[in-house]
Amino acid sequence: MGDVMSKEQRRKNMKAIKSVSKLEKIVSSELWKKGYRFRRNTKSLTGKPDISIKKYKVVIFIDSCFFHRCPLHGNMPQTNSEFWKKKLNRNVARDKEVNNHYEAKDWNLLRIWEHEIKEDLEGTVNKIAKFIELAK
């Protein structure tokens, strides 16, 4: 089965993807309201975590179900499948490398799936807040 979008639609879609997603902004905003202070997309940290608190050695990644191959929602596109297979498999491998890096340095790492936020924003924000509190 081919792509459900035309090449022009797919191009427009991919062009609209930004480095900071709407979900990252929403989660960051909710955490800020709860009084947590952090950095976003810290370039000096491995993997450029979406949220980081160096003081507590906390890094949080908000992973897209598509780009990080969520076991529930990650699917392989039918068009240009070799490109996507290579790209998405590399993303998963990089995630494992980043996880290993932080585990070796005794950092507190949390990965949140995009669908967790969409299904239960408040619960996910509370989960992150609890994670930060435990790291203090």
pLDDT in tens, 39-63: 999 999 999 999 999 999 999 999 9
- Residue 66 contacts residue 73 (beta carbons within 8 Å): yes
DSSP 8-state assignment for residue 79: T
Break the chain into its structural domains and give their ranges: 19-135
Distance, CA of 64 to CA of 73 (rounded, Å): 10
Q: Calculate mean pLDDT across residues 18-38.
A: 91
**Could you tell me the pTM of the whole model?**
0.85
CA gyration radius for the chain? 16
Q: Is the domain covering 19-135 a CATH 3.40.960.10 domain? A: yes
Q: Which of 26, 30, 32, 99 is nearest to 61 (CA)?
A: 99
